[in-house]
Homo-oligomer: A and B are copies of this chain.
Amino acid sequence: MIYFDNASTSFPKPECVYKAINGCMTQYGANPGRSWHMMARQINQKLFETRQSIARLFSIDDPYRVVFSFNATEAIKIIYGGLLQTGDHVVVTSMEHKAMLRPLQEMERSGVSYTTVKCTRTGELDIDELRDAIKRNTKLIGMTGISNVTGTVMPIKEVGRICREKGIQFMVDASQAAGVLDIDVQAMNIDLLVASGHKSLYGMQGTGVLYVSPQAKIRPYVGRVPEEEINSWLFYERYEIGTLNAPGLVGLKAGVDFILSETPEKIRMHEQILTRRLIEGLQGIERIVLYGPLSEKKQVGILSLNIKEKTPQEVAELLDKRYKIGVRPGLHCATYAHETIGTGDMGSVRFSMGYFNTIEEVDLAIFALRNIAKS
């Protein structure tokens, strides 16, 4: 199968990831943070090394501030639950994943309010509109790094500057951007960084990452623990509940190390080449409608499209059955993003490319889409 669903989860992973997970499970699969014996010490050490690799990738000073979660959705829940209180206001963009929006809808019940800044039809953010959305009680601005619907690269650095200037916490959902964009939490003034482990970081499903900067004060996720007790804990222990996905996190280190060795620049360049080729190959084909900025400088790895008179589901089924091409049809967990780009009714067919996709695969996709559009 030709896999163009990397924004759901990357596939395949680098070989070193499979090997690391299997090695952990078969050789030192103890429970981290619980016991003291040789295997337990070994897994503790390995997980700390994962924190170190992640810290390196995002220019984080202190690896103890790298917290593990089970996915980005949980990490966002930890932030909202630990940071927001009655009376607080949050600004998000209309390109966010539901993982960013749904907890805010829930928290409206407890007196938290939020504003969704509508992006342009290509999924781009107007910085002035964002500025206008800021209120006296705005505590947090939350934004994705790359839209999971259009691949639009969001202006992290600019928004980070505004946040620092106004004394607002800045949270970035890097689930699509981690390992592809060059994210530097210090240079970009990111207070809270969230990422899936299993997408562009090449780890396994069931892993997520949360960075909490010294400026961000979020309450512990583990529940009510006396202050003197919690002060004696390691920083990350305040936010990690129950047994971690330890083998998965060992695999995540392998994934992040793979990125560090290839470099995010090289990965991004490859994805840009594929994106440009797909865009250029599809532009001008009758009945095919493309979404997003349609420029590989403003859009990485993802292209949403539709074929007139066909539902996204029909197109995806034809791609799957006739051409063995796997894509994702529908609303992609981001209803507002689809409203923004004008596909609120049925969604789109999303091609999401990864580092292991090739030019030949993209050309086959173009060939297949041309045929489907004609039929």
Contacts and interface: CB of A to CB of B under 8 A. Distances in A.
A111 interface: no
Nearest to A35: B328
A3 interface: yes
Contacts of A208: 242
Number of copies: 2
B5 A320 contact: no
A224 B105 contact: yes
Contact of A36 (B77, B204, B313): B313
Interface stretch (A6-14, A231-239, A337-345): A6-14
A369 to B, nearest CB: 15
Contacts of A36: 313, 316-317, 320, 328-329
A326 interface: yes
A357 to B, nearest CB: 14
A54 interface: no
A21 B11 contact: no
Nearest to A10: B29
B224 A109 contact: yes
Which of A9, A12, A34, A103 neighbours the largest number of chain B CB atoms within 10 Å of its CB? A9
A245 B204 contact: yes
A76 to B, nearest CB: 9
Nearest to A248: B206
Given A9-B243, A242-B74, A31 B1 contact: no
A207 B243 CA distance: 9
Contacts of A302: none
B40 A326 contact: yes
Contacts of A108: 224
18 contacts: A1-B37, A5-B31, A5-B37, A5-B39, A8-B35, A21-B21, A29-B204, A34-B328, A34-B333, A36-B328, A37-B316, A71-B243, A102-B222, A102-B223, A103-B223, A204-B247, A206-B248, A245-B245
A116 interface: no
Contact of A31 (B8, B74, B99, B320): B8
A141 interface: no
A224 B102 contact: yes
A38 B223 CA distance: 41
A11 B30 contact: yes
A44 to B, nearest CB: 12
B320 A247 contact: no
A138 to B, nearest CB: 21
A26 interface: yes
Contacts of A5: 30-31, 34-35, 37, 39-40
A72 B243 CA distance: 8
A273 interface: no
A179 to B, nearest CB: 16
